[in-house]
Each structure stands twice: as structure tokens, then as C-alpha cells.
């Protein structure tokens, strides 16, 4: 009898162990890759921020890079540019994406074709997006300067990318063009999962279209909105490709964001230390932002 019990205990322990390990077994390839290729370099990157690099050697400088950061006027401008670039791109992407999602939820002829066409920009490689829009803004071969000139926005048909006061609009428009489908797809999916009975009930109760939107649609979309806005903000803020391709931060630093600045400072000036310190600043800002949005989303989920 005791033997059987001991046997059973062993079996029980074995089964418990298997149950404990099984999910981790399925997760392990993903976790191994992420830890070795992302987390470890990230930690090394953070350690770089405490060193100063020159052509052949590096030395430990403690918080020296961070102190230099505090008084860097270029970084200051880049922070403001980043904010402007992120907020403007995000707001336009979001509202145009939401509008598109609501339109695509309406029945109309050729909806499937339209859906395929309007989502297409997302498939266009980012560097191509940048190049194509740069060409569209080029007065030699692109139509846009001539259109702007014709409607009186510009006195001469010239590229807006060359003028520091307007240059940022180039990458922003390209970014909006590229990013609308992301919001449209996720919001359309979320909108489709709202039970139609809710709208029937609301319209029987006498709600207007606007009331249905604010009282039914928005509260239901809110958790999705929170998570997509968060992911998108992070992507846009760290996203250097588009600006790099279109203006490379110029003219006169007017489109220099933190992401492009890090890139320039890491690869042009060779001081990986300073670049890493700026990246740490960006990372801290973004993680704080992400955690806040996750908290807001939790609160929203509780309410619905």
C-alpha cells in the first residue's frame, strides 16, 4: 500500500512538472530568440551609454553622456520635432483610419475591391513610400508642387521638402498615407465584432446616428483604440526610415527627430555612447507611455 502511494506521488509530481513546463515549451523558441537578439543587445546598448567611443577605443565616463545630453541644443530641437512628428502623424492616421473603418463597415457596391485598394499602402515598403512621396513633391516629375501652386498654397512650384518651415509635412503625409490602413484594419475588425443587436436596441430607444456612435461604437472600440494607438505611437516615434529616405533630417535639422538623430550620431560621428544615451532616454519615455496606456486600457475593459 505504501509502495503504491509513493508511486502515485511520483506520478503526480511528474504530471505536475509536465503541466508546469508545457506552456513554456511552446513559448521557448520565441523567448529564446527575443532574449538573445533583442534583450541582450538592449542591455549592451544601455551599457554603451555609460561609455565614450572614439575611432579605436572607448572609455567609461559614468553619466557623462547624459550630462552632455542635457545641454545639447540639437537634441532639444529633435525632441520637439519628435513630438510634433508623432502627434501630427498619429492624429491624422487615427482619424482618417477610423473614418475609413466606419465607411468600410457600410454596405456599398464594390466594397471588397475598395477594401483591397485602400489597404494597399500598407504593403508598400517604407523606403519606397518615402521615395515615391519625395518624387511626388519634386516639381520636376511630380504633380503636387504644381497643384499647390495652382490652388495658391505656394507662390512657386517648388518642393516643400527643401523649406525648413514646411519640410516636416513631407514625411508626415507619407507616414499618414502608409499608416491609415493599420488603423482601418484593426478598427474595422473591432467594429465588426460589436453585436448588431446593440444598434437595433439603440435605434429602437430613439438614439440618433451620432448618439449611436458615441454611446455604442466608441465605448466598444476604446480598448482596441488604446492598444493600437499605443503600438502606433511607439512605432512612429522610433521610426527613422521614412525621414531618413525623404530628408535625412534636413534641411537645417528641421526634420531631425530623436530616432534620426541617434542614427546620424551613431553612424556619422562614431560615438555609439552618446547615441545609446539618447536611445535610453527615448526608451524610458516610450515604456512609461506604454505602461500608462496599458493601465488606461485595463480601466476601459473593466467599464465595458
Partner 1 sequence: MASVSLRNVHKKFGPITVLESIDLDIADGEFVVLVGPSGCGKSTLLRSIAGLEAINGGEIQIGDRPVTHMAPKDRDIAMVFQSYALYPHMDVRRNMAFSLNLRKSPAALIGERVAEASAKLGLNALLDRLPKQLSGGQRQRVAMGRAIVRNPKVFLFDEPLSNLDAKLRATMRTEIKALHQSLKTTAIYVTHDQVEAMTMANRIVVMSDGVIQQVGPPLELYDRPANMFVAGFIGSPTMNFFDAVIVRGAARLADGSLLPLAPAAWKEGREIVIGIRPEHLHFADQGFPATVTVVEPLGMSTQVTLDAVEERVTLLALERPQLSPGDRKYLTAKAADIHVFDRVSGLRLN
Partner 2 sequence: MPGQSLLQRILGQTGLYAAIACYVIFALLPIYWTIKISVTPQDLLYSEGIKLWPSRMTLANYTSVLKATDFPRYFLNSFLVSVTTAVIVTVVASFAGYALSRFRFRGKALVSLVLLLTQTFPLVMVIPPIYRIMGQLGLTDNLYGLIIIYTAFNIAFATFLMQSFLDGVPKDLEEAAMIDGCTRFEALRRVIMPLTLPGMGATVAFVFTAAWSELLFALMLINSESQKTFSVGLLTFVSKFAVDWGQMMAASVMALIPVCLFFMFLQRYLVTGLTAGAVKG
Tell me which residues in 57-86 interact with partner 2 (CB under 8 A): none
Q: What is the DSSP letter of 36?
A: I
Minimum CB distance to partner 1, residue 2 (Å): 15
Asked if 190 interacts with partner 2 (CB under 8 A), we say yes
Minimum CB distance to partner 2, residue 99 (Å): 7
Choose the one of partner 1, partner 2, none that binds residue 300, judging by a C-beta under 5 to 8 angstroms depending on kind: none
The site that binds partner 2 (CB under 8 A) totals a number of residues, namely 89
Minimum CB distance to partner 2, residue 1 (Å): 32
| Positions that interact with partner 1 (CB under 8 A) | 8, 11-12, 14-16, 19
- C-alpha grid cell, residue 250: 534636413
Give, for 52, the enclosing helix (H) or strand (E): strand 51-53
- C-alpha grid cell, residue 16: 505536475
| 207-226: contacts with partner 2 (CB under 8 A) | 224
The set of residues, in sequence order, having a beta carbon less than 8 Å from that of 13 and lying 6+ positions away, is none
Of 84 and 122, the one with the shorter C-beta distance to partner 2 is 122
d(CA 263, CA 149): 35
Of 5 and 165, the one with the shorter C-beta distance to partner 1 is 5
Which residue, among 179, 84, 170, has the nearest Cα to 131 in the 3D structure? 170
Query: What is the CB neighbour count within 10 angstroms for residue 26?
Result: 9
Of 1 and 81, the one with the shorter C-beta distance to partner 2 is 81
93 near 182, Cβ under 8 Å?
yes
Choose the one of partner 1, partner 2, none that binds residue 146, judging by a C-beta under 5 to 8 angstroms depending on kind: partner 2
Choose the one of partner 2, partner 1, none that binds residue 11, judging by a C-beta under 5 to 8 angstroms depending on kind: partner 1
Positive or negative: CA dihedral 171, 175, 176, 177: positive
Of 8 and 36, the one with the shorter C-beta distance to partner 1 is 8
What does each C-alpha distance from 269 to 33, 55, 215, 261, 273 come to in angstroms? 31, 9, 54, 11, 10
| 234-273: contacts with partner 2 (CB under 8 A) | 234-235, 238, 240-241, 244-245, 259, 262-263, 266-267, 272
Choose the one of partner 2, partner 1, none that binds residue 44, judging by a C-beta under 5 to 8 angstroms depending on kind: partner 2
Give the one residue of 10, 83, 128, 252 binding partner 2; rule: CB under 8 A. 128
Minimum CB distance to partner 1, residue 1 (Å): 13
What does each C-alpha distance from 152 to 139, 146, 157 come to in angstroms? 15, 10, 10
Amino acid at each position: 500500500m505504501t509502495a503504491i502511494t509513493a508511486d502515485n506521488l511520483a506520478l503526480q509530481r511528474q504530471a505536475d512538472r509536465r503541466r508546469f513546463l508545457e506552456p513554456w515549451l511552446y513559448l521557448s523558441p520565441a523567448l529564446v530568440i527575443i532574449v538573445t537578439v533583442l534583450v541582450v543587445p538592449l542591455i549592451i546598448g544601455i551599457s554603451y551609454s555609460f561609455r565614450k567611443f572614439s575611432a579605436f577605443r572607448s572609455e567609461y565616463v559614468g553619466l557623462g553622456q547624459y550630462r552632455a545630453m542635457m545641454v545639447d541644443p540639437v537634441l532639444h530641437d529633435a525632441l520637439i520635432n519628435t513630438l510634433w512628428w508623432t502627434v501630427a502623424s498619429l492624429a491624422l492616421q487615427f482619424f482618417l483610419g477610423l473614418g475609413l473603418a466606419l465607411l468600410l463597415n457600410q454596405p456599398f457596391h464594390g466594397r471588397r475591391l475598395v477594401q483591397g485598394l485602400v489597404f494597399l499602402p500598407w504593403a508598400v515598403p517604407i523606403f519606397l513610400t518615402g521615395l515615391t512621396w519625395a518624387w511626388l513633391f519634386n516639381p520636376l516629375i511630380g504633380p503636387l508642387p504644381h497643384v499647390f501652386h495652382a490652388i495658391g498654397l505656394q507662390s512657386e512650384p517648388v518642393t516643400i521638402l527643401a523649406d525648413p518651415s514646411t519640410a516636416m509635412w513631407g514625411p508626415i503625409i507619407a507616414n499618414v498615407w502608409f499608416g491609415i490602413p493599420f488603423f482601418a484594419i484593426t478598427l474595422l475588425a473591432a467594429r465588426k465584432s460589436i453585436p448588431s443587436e446593440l444598434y437595433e436596441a439603440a435605434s429602437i430607444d430613439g438614439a440618433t446616428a451620432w448618439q449611436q456612435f458615441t454611446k455604442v461604437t466608441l465605448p466598444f472600440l476604446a480598448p482596441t483604440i488604446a492598444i493600437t494607438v499605443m503600438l502606433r505611437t511607439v512605432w512612429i516615434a522610433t521610426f527613422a526610415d521614412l525621414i531618413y529616405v525623404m530628408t535625412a533630417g534636413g534641411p537645417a535639422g528641421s526634420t531631425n527627430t530623436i530616432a534620426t538623430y541617434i542614427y546620424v550620431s551613431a553612424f556619422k560621428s562614431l560615438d555609439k555612447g552618446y547615441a545609446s544615451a539618447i536611445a535610453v532616454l527615448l526608451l524610458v519615455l516610450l515604456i512609461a507611455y506604454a505602461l500608462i496606456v496599458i493601465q488606461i486600457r485595463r480601466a476601459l475593459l473593466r467599464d465595458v
